[in-house]
Amino acid sequence: MADFNAQGWLEWLAPLDHDATVLEQQYSESSLRLLSLFPARRDLEHLTVHAILTQSKHSTRLLKILERFPKLLAALDDPASKHTIWAPTDAAFSELDVKRFSSEELEQALQNLIAPHHMPIEHIINMPNVPVLLSPPGLNGSQRIRLRGSPKGLHVNYNAHIIEGNIIAKDGVVHSIDSVFLPPPSISRIVSLLPPSDFSVLQSALEKSGLGPMIEAGDFNGGTLFVPNNSAFSKLGEEINTFLFSEKGASYLRRLIEYHFLPNQTLFSNAYYKPGDTAALQEAQAAPPASTEPDRRYRLLIGTKTFPLPTQMQGRKMSVDISRHGGIIAMRVNGSIPVTAQDGLANNGVVHIVADVLIPPQEPGSVAVEQEDGVATDLKDFISRFEGIV
């Protein structure tokens, strides 16, 4: 049981400009549009989330399934807690054959629809993805769901749309959606779903290097994979590409691909999971520093934070800059390489699409601060980046 719309994700183009004024303008336009589309509905705020669902004529199928899981139902009927549910309508459930799922799979699907937080629209506009109740064994933190505004409304996990949102309850919020989104697949599965016309080189490199089978085996707890497309590999030039896929270049190919995968640390656009962190710290890790300007009411975070991340390459680090104005976030790697598609959410990590192949810094222990155009000058320069590790 898994769900991932690869094409839908790729079409969610990420902000590329890190300029604070540009991010602020994009945020202002997006937030005003979403707040006008979904004004807070407060006529039912004396009721719990469960009671609101019970009153709805469009939630009978959801309630019928929820009743099989008393703990989840109780959480939605507890004024002492706060939960937000993305509630598929009966029409949405009609497109899903519920009978084919086991009881465990159904519970996981429900957990993937419920966030343990109060999340009205004015908070969602600042959160491109949010944690839910589901905690997959292969992920070093809570599963997340992806949210994105557009001129047509608010999209959830690539397939679903909020059709009636911002219904405020005594113990949370209800957002009705037009499609059931299921928990996501693994990182390996997401890569396999990417269109070969754009990602065949990376897919071949993963297989040839042996890293693909390693990622598929899932012998890690959370992970971040940066995926260059075919155009990114073409920027390396024919000489380097021919070398990488030759017998002589096999060890260099493996090291290069290893540099793109960070096991046991999961960096989303707005959260960072690493070993030993609490849930609260995970959420704060990806926020700009305290010296920026948070708006407490709407949790508006503004600024840039740089993450020097350890890699699998013996001291070679990677830097990731995250610049944000609320929920409008731009990411770049090694100082100059834009992330063109953010937060491909997996059940064991996250996938980001990058515009260039990531090349490690020359000196062990250093952080790649800026990668000029993502291109080594020639094969000799490229090989020098792997000195001492190949």
The DSSP code sequence of 124-136 is: HTT-SEEE-S---
- Extents of the domains making up the chain: 38-177, 185-390
Q: Which CATH architecture has domain 185-390?
A: Roll (2.30)
SS3 (DSSP) at 322: strand
The pLDDT tens digits for 160-179 are 999 999 999 999 999 999 99
Give me the pLDDT at residue 275, please.
78
Distance of CA 113 to the CA centre of its chain: 16
- If you average pLDDT over every residue of the chain, what do you get? 89
The pLDDT tens digits for 130-162 are 999 999 999 999 999 999 888 778 999 988 999
Taking alpha carbons only, the member of 170, 172, 166 closest to residue 82 is 172
Q: How confident is the model at residue 313 (pLDDT cuts 50, 70, 90)?
A: confident
Cα(339)–Cα(320) distance, rounded to whole angstroms?
10
Q: How confident is the model at residue 181 (pLDDT cuts 50, 70, 90)?
A: very high
For the record, the structure tokens of 77 come out as 């009927």
Lowest mean pLDDT among 257-271, 358-372, 375-389: 358-372
Q: Over range 303-326, report the average pLDDT.
A: 91
Instruction: Please give the backbone phi and psi of residue 121, each rounded to the nearest 5 degrees, phi first.
Output: -60, -35
Per CATH, which fold does 38-177 belong to?
FAS1 domain (2.30.180)
DSSP class of 14 = P
SS3 (DSSP) at 186: coil
Q: Over range 187-197, report the average pLDDT.
A: 97
Q: Over range 210-235, report the average pLDDT.
A: 95
Beta-bridged to residue 155, according to DSSP, are 148, 161
Task: List, edge to edge, every strand of the sheet that includes 160-169.
Answer: 114-115, 83-88, 172-177, 160-169, 153-156, 144-150, 129-131
Give me the pLDDT at residue 290, please.
41
Cα(32)–Cα(329) distance, rounded to whole angstroms?
17
Give me the pLDDT at residue 288, please.
53
Q: Is the pTM of this model over 0.85?
A: yes
For the record, the structure tokens of 371 come out as 């990668």
Q: Over range 200-220, report the average pLDDT.
A: 95
Asked if domains 38-177 and 185-390 share a fold, the reply is yes
Q: Is the pLDDT of residue 220 over 80?
A: yes
Q: End-to-end distance of the chain based on CA atoms, in angstroms?
A: 40
Lowest mean pLDDT among 305-314, 322-331, 365-374: 365-374
Check residue 265 and give left, alpha or beta (phi > 0: left; psi -120 to 50: alpha): beta
